[in-house]
Structure 1
Amino acid sequence: MTTLAERWAMLEPSLVIHRPEGSGPFPVVFLFPGCGGIREHLHRYANAAAKAGWMAVTVESFKARGWSEAFVRSFVCTGFLLRGGARAGDVMAAVTHVGSLPDADPSRLAVAGWSHGAWAIMDLMTLPLDEPGGSEAGISDPENSDLSEVKGAFLAYPYIGFITASRRRDWKHRLDGLVVVPTRDHMGGRRQYEQALTHARASGSVLEEWPIDATHAFDEPGLTHPRIHYDPRATVKTIKRFAEWLKRL
């Protein structure tokens, strides 16, 4: 167990920040990568956010813990370590301590996640945050977390497998957002997505689904998985949609 402040202190040195032009304060969007960590496609999203006037802060949950890429592939991508509920503590710490970032406007805040990162955001929404100690997120003071200023969530091909809380429990907090749903996602079919989104909507959350003819992780070049295919055209469309979504918040 760690406090929110201790978790933030662990994460802060490895943050990757893209700032808009001009003087702040700027609205902030936290980006939570999939288990592949920060790769080329995340920088493209972050640059698009900056051009839209948002400070994009990418949270590197894995390097912050001293884990190598090979270690993460073996233990995180396979679900042995740092499942979504545990990584939810990183999301809690980031949104609670956003005010410590220079030029940040804590009153205008959004979160964005890809695959494992989206899993963390969605599982966070299922957790009771008014109970001291015992949080699934490994946070000893979850009652001190503050989600009130989070204006929305961008969820790209979230992992919604059987081990995710979002497939089993209703959300306890409202968070509207945009969900990118690849129609050829081998990690979650239509039924699995509907289960997770039904639990999310039980909180009153308004989640717009954006189906796209693509695979899981379609926006990440260089992957060698036989069922994942990089689609540059779909990637451009999704990055544009991400920037447009931010401008509407």
Structure 2
Amino acid sequence: MDTLDARWAMLEPHTTVVGPDDDRPRPAVLLFHGCGGLRDHLPRYAEAAKAAGWRAFIVDSYGPRGWNRAFTLTTVCTGLVLRGYERAGDLLAAIHGISRRPDVDPTMLSLAGWSHGGWSIMEMMSEDPLPGRLGLANPGDCDLSGVKAVWLAYPYIGAWAFNRMKPWRHCPRVLAMTARRDHLTTVTNAERVNAMIRDCGSEVESWIAEGTHAFDEPTSNGPMRHHPELTLEALRRFTAFLRDVAPEA
């Protein structure tokens, strides 16, 4: 079983860093992809974070495991492997590793997750950090106090998300983006989950976007349809969210 350090050593070579060209400690946002893996929309969000004065870290959970897109579409996206509560160990390790970088302000971190990435964030926030949980020997050694905000982009809250109504142990500010025509959840279900997070003490802003699941990804597969105008609005809201969290970045 991995320690936090060992898991981060696995992930770090597959993590893309985007940010201002300096070495001073800056707020950092950690970006976690959906079940389809790294796609072209995440670099756009990373650049938006950079423009707001943040460092962005795009964390790839598949590259270190040697998984390609064809494999993950048929296994991760169908719930056969690496469910959110298993991938949550990657998130803890990334927080643990990135917060110790000299060019990062460890007191001003934000997490951003799309679909499966959002599910993983929610599992990490709700799980008791006992030894052996989330696939890590020492999950309790990760300090979450620096996590000030969470961006949830159409997070998966379907049948496999057993803990979607479990209270979070750390309750930062949240912007929850729900797709009106999401084939994986209803707006009612999403608002129930948002209300639970709010009841934990989080300030939760809910935005219902008039699109499908993954509307900001520049491809159209099955019931998912790319919506360029909504994508621009999502990027605008993401930037405004970060600037509101850290106005002096």
Q: Provide TM-score, normalisation by structure 2.
A: 0.94
Matched-pair identity in %: 44
1 CA distance for matches of 2:25 and 2:193? 35
Q: Choose which of 175, 178, 183 in structure 1 pairs with 2:175.
A: 178
2 CA distance for matches of 1:243 and 1:232? 17
Q: Which amino acid aligns with 2:243?
A: K
| Shift, 1:22, TM fit | 4.3
Q: Which moved more, 1:76-85 or 1:22-31?
A: 22-31
| Shift, 1:160, TM fit | 0.5
2:150 corresponds in structure 1 to 153
Structure 2: tracts of 5 or more residues without a match: none
Structure 1: tracts of 5 or more residues without a match: none
Q: Would the aligned equivalents of 2:194 and 2:206 in 1 still touch at CA under 8 Å? A: no
What SS does structure 2 have at the residue aligned with 1:169?
Answer: coil
User: Aligned runs of 1:1-249 on 2, under 5 Å?
Assistant: 1-129=1-129, 131=130, 133-135=131-133, 137-225=134-222, 227-249=223-245
Change (3 A) 1:29 1:71: same
Q: Which moved more, 1:111-120 or 1:189-198?
A: 189-198
What SS does structure 2 have at the residue aligned with 1:128?
Answer: coil
Q: Which amino acid aligns with 1:211?
A: I
Q: Would the aligned equivalents of 1:171 and 1:201 in 2 still touch at CA under 8 Å? A: no
Q: Which amino acid aligns with 1:193?
A: A
Q: Which amino acid aligns with 2:98?
A: V
What SS does structure 1 have at the residue aligned with 2:149?
Answer: strand
Change (3 A) 1:12 1:22: closer
| Shift, 1:102, TM fit | 4.7
Q: Would the aligned equivalents of 2:55 and 2:104 in 1 still touch at CA under 8 Å? A: yes
Q: Which amino acid aligns with 2:228?
A: P
Q: Would the aligned equivalents of 2:113 and 2:152 in 1 still touch at CA under 8 Å? A: yes
Q: CA RMSD in A?
A: 1.4
| Shift, 1:84, TM fit | 0.6
2 CA distance for matches of 1:169 and 1:69? 31
Q: Which amino acid aligns with 1:142?
A: P
Provide, for residues 37-92 of structure 1, a one-character-per-residue CA deviation record: whole Å limited to 9, x for no partner: 22111111100100110000000001121111111111111111111111111111
What SS does structure 1 have at the residue aligned with 2:224?
Answer: coil
Q: Provide TM-score, normalisation by structure 1.
A: 0.94
Q: Which amino acid aligns with 2:88?
A: A
Q: Would the aligned equivalents of 2:3 and 2:138 in 1 still touch at CA under 8 Å? A: yes
| Shift, 1:199, TM fit | 2.9
| Shift, 1:172, TM fit | 2.5
What SS does structure 2 have at the residue aligned with 1:245?
Answer: helix
| Shift, 1:181, TM fit | 1.0
2 CA distance for matches of 1:166 and 1:178? 19
2 CA distance for matches of 1:7 and 1:22? 27
Q: Which moved more, 1:22-31 or 1:95-104?
A: 95-104
